[in-house]
Amino acid sequence: MRPPLLARLGSRIADICERWFPDAFVFALAAIVLVFIGGMFAGVKPVTLATEFGNGFWSLVNFTMQMAMVIVGGFVVASSPPIARLTRWLASIPKTARGAVAFVAAFAMLSSLISWGLSLVFTGLLVREIVKRIDVDYRAIGAAAYLGLGSVWALGLSSSAALLQATKSSIPASLLPVTGVIPLTQTIFLPQSMAMAAVLVIVSVIVAYVSAPREGEARTAKMMGIEFRDDDVAAKATTTPAERFENSPILNIVIALLMFWFLITQFRDKGGIAALDLNNFNFFFIAAGLLMHWTPRSFLRAVTKSVPATAGVLIQFPFYGGIFGMISKTPIAAQLAHAFVSVTTKTTFPIVVALYSAILGMFVPSGGGKWIVEAPYVMTAARQWGEHLGWTVQIYNAAEALPNLINPFWMLPLMGILGVRARDLAGYSILQLLFHAPIVLLLCWLFAMSF
C-alpha cells in the first residue's frame, strides 16, 4: 500500500536535508557571516562588528556550562539502575514504528512544559531505548524527540521571558517602568496560552504519526550506522582501601543529602517557581545521580560516558555568543525592531511581533537573552496599541520556538545523545514547521482580539 502523502513528503524533505542541510557548526559560521554583512549594510563599521563579536564570544560561557551539565546530569540520572528501569518500561509502551514516533512527540512536548532540559535529555534517552526494540525511522523519531524545544516549551514553566517578567529583581531597570511585574497568571497560565499549547501538541502528534514511515520503509538507526548497547560493567572486587572508598555508598549519600538540603532551602526561600532555574535543575540531577548510582565509581563511569555528547555545545555556543554580541551591542537590533514596530497597526501587531521574534530567533537563539533585546521596543508598542502585555509575552514565546525547528543551536544536546547530525533531524522538523508557523500566527492574532 502506498504511504500517505504526509509520509512521502516527510521522507522527501528528510532525504533533501540529508544531502543539503549543513552541519550545525557550518550553520553557525554562516550565520556569523550573514550578520556581519547585514551589520555593514545597516551602517555599522566592520571594526565595531569585529569588536562586539569578540566581546560577545564568551558571553554565553555560563550558559554553555549549564547546557553541558544538562547533558551530563541527564545522562548520569538516566543511566542509573532505577531510571534505566523506568526508561525501559516507557520504551515498552509503543508497539509500532509510527506509534513510537507519536509517543515520543507527546512525551517530549508535555515534559518540555515542565522543563526543556528534562524534555531534551530524557526524551533523547527514551529514543535510544525504543530503537533497540522497534525498527523505527531514526530521523523521524529523533525529530519527534526535539518537538519539546521546537513547539511548546516556552508556553510552559520553561519560559525564560515569562519567569523574568514575573520576577521584579530580574527585570532590567530600563524595562521595569514599561512592563511592570507581569505574574504568571497573566502569561503562561492564561486560558488562551494553554489553549494554544494544547492545539500545538495535538497537531504535532498527528503530523508526527502520519508522516512517520512504517517499519518496512523506515531508515533505522542501524542502517545509519548507529547502535546502542547495554554495556553494564561487572563490579570489580575491592581489594585495596582506595577501591573500598570508590565502591562505598557513604560519601555519595552524605554529599547528596547536603545538596538536597540546599535545594530545600532554595525552594523555601525563593518559592517553587522562582527556584526553577537551570542551576538548581542541574544541581538536582547531580545530587540525584550521586544517590541513584550509589557509589563514586559508578557515578564517575556514567559521567565519563556522557562527556562526548557535550562536544557540540562546548565549541558552538561561544560562536552564537559572538552573534548575540554583534546584534545586541550594535544598532542592528534597534533598527530591526523599529522597522517592524513602525509598520504595525493594532490589527497587525500580534502577527508582526511573532514574525519579528521568529526571524531574530534565527540569529539569537536564546530565549531570555533575546527577550531583553526585544522587550523594550515590543512592549512599548504594545502599550501604545493597548495590547495585553501578558499575551504579548506569550506571542513572543510561541514564535520563539519556530526558528528552533530549523536552527541547529538547540538540537546540539539531543544530537550528542542520539549520535546524529542536524541534517538527520531537519527534514521532519521542517515538516512540522510548515504546520506550526501558520497555526501560531493565526492563534496569536485571534486570541489577541479576546482581551
pLDDT band at 229 (very low <50, low <70, confident <90, very high): low
Q: What is the pTM of this model?
A: 0.78
**In the prediction, which pLDDT does 391 show?**
95
| Residue with more model confidence, 93 or 212 | 93
Average pLDDT over residues 88-106: 93
pLDDT band at 108 (very low <50, low <70, confident <90, very high): very high
At 233, which helix (H) or strand (E)? none
Q: Which of 432, 415, 372 is nearest to 396 (CA)?
A: 372
311-328 vs 24-41: helix crossing angle, rounded to 10: 10
**In the prediction, which pLDDT does 14 show?**
62
Is pLDDT of 116 > 80?
no
Is pLDDT of 122 > 70?
yes
519560559: which residue's cell? Answer: 159
Average pLDDT over residues 30-59: 86
pLDDT in tens, 385-430: 888 999 999 999 999 889 888 877 677 778 878 888 877 887 888 8
d(CA 31, CA 36): 8
pLDDT band at 7 (very low <50, low <70, confident <90, very high): low
pLDDT in tens, 429-450: 888 999 999 999 999 999 999 9
Q: Strand, coil or helix: what is 306?
A: helix
| Residue 272 DSSP label | T
d(CA 210, CA 16): 19
565502591: which residue's cell? Answer: 247
Mean pLDDT computed over every residue of the chain:
82
d(CA 413, CA 149): 11
Burial of 65 (0-12, 13-18, 19+ CB in 10 A): middle
367-384 vs 332-342: helix crossing angle, rounded to 10: 40
Average pLDDT over residues 159-186: 78
d(CA 152, CA 405): 12
pLDDT in tens, 253-306: 989 999 999 988 888 887 666 666 667 778 888 999 999 998 888 898 888 887
Q: Strand, coil or helix: what is 75?
A: helix
Number of Cβ within 10 Å of residue 436's Cβ equals: 24
d(CA 440, CA 426): 20
Is pLDDT of 314 > 80?
yes
d(CA 225, CA 227): 7
Q: Which of 165, 107, 104 is nearest to 390 (CA)?
A: 165
pLDDT in tens, 336-393: 667 766 777 888 889 988 988 888 777 666 655 567 667 777 887 888 888 899 999 9
**In the prediction, which pLDDT does 415 show?**
81
Is pLDDT of 232 > 60?
no
**In the prediction, which pLDDT does 442 show?**
95
Is pLDDT of 153 > 80?
yes
Tell me, rounded to whole angstroms, the distance of Cα 325 from its chain centroid: 21
d(CA 210, CA 229): 29
**In the prediction, which pLDDT does 72 show?**
84
**In the prediction, which pLDDT does 8 show?**
67
How far is the CA of 57 from the CAs of 112, 228, 324, 330, in angstroms?
28, 35, 8, 15
CA 231, 234, 238 angle in degrees (round to 5)? 145
Q: Percent of the chain scored above 90 by pLDDT?
A: 21
pLDDT in tens, 190-203: 999 999 999 999 99
